[in-house]
């Protein structure tokens, strides 16, 4: 099984859409409130927050050290409050010789406050089981080829600890500002299934 974002609308999304429509028709939920909640997780509570954390760590050595010492507090410094379950976030740094990747083998624990909604593949049983056993193969299937001499470290999120990857800063971005770096940093890079690409 190759792990990619699904391109078709399978039974689960269709059921969710039907349920949402039924709840709206019966007046049990307000579609405007639903849209606002979804927008909040896609923009305000989402990958943009994590990208700002990474960009700050890349450009501010003092912040970077605070992030490694106490990521939860350092992330709050930027105004990103914890969502339930995100009380303890740890950050690990990928380097040219060490690549970090995050998984949750038991369910789909995920740092919503800095990465937003978890992607479907993160919750997929194949990703959750195979990433631990054969990370190089799974990463390759997801489009990330790593040299044989790169050590892969897999970090298992759980109900008490969430992980965030500080990806390698790509060459050629040394002169870029924090604001210029943010758009380059993707959710997948902060989970560890991709690298940040140079502009």
- As a whole number of angstroms, the distance between CA 110 and CA 157 comes to 7
- As a whole number of angstroms, the distance between CA 161 and CA 53 comes to 18
Catalytic residue among 107, 140, 159, 177: 107
User: Does residue 140 have an active-site annotation?
Assistant: no
User: Does residue 157 have an active-site annotation?
Assistant: no
Residues with Cβ within 8 Å of residue 188, at least 6 apart in sequence: 119, 194
User: Does residue 81 have an active-site annotation?
Assistant: no
What is the full DSSP assignment across 87-100? SSEEEEE--SSEEE
- As a whole number of angstroms, the distance between CA 111 and CA 49 comes to 11
Catalytic residue among 94, 104, 113, 157: 104
* DSSP for residue 79: T
Catalytic residue among 44, 81, 94, 109: 109
Catalytic residue among 81, 82, 108, 140: 108
User: Does residue 107 have an active-site annotation?
Assistant: yes
* Catalytically annotated residues: 104, 107-109
């Amino acid at each position: 099984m190759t792990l990619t974002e699904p391109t078709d609308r399978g039974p689960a999304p269709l059921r969710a859409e039907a349920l949402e429509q039924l709840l709206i028709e019966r007046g049990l939920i307000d579609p405007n409130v639903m849209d606002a909640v979804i927008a909040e997780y896609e923009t305000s509570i989402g990958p943009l927050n994590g990208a700002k954390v990474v960009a700050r760590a890349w450009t501010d050595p003092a912040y970077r050290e605070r992030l490694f010492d106490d990521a939860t507090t350092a992330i709050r410094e930027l105004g990103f409050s914890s969502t339930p379950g995100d009380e303890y976030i740890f950050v690990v740094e990928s380097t040219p010789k060490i690549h970090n990747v995050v998984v949750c083998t038991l369910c789909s624990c995920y740092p919503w406050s800095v990465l937003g909604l978890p992607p479907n593949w993160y919750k997929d049983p194949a990703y959750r089981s195979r990433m631990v056993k054969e990370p190089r193969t799974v990463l390759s299937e997801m489009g990330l080829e790593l040299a044989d001499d790169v050590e892969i470290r897999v970090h298992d999120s759980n109900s008490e600890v969430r992980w965030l990857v500080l990806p390698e800063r790509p060459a050629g971005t040394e002169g870029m500002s924090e604001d210029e770096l943010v758009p380059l940093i993707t959710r997948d890079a902060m989970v560890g299934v991709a690298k940040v690409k140079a502009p």
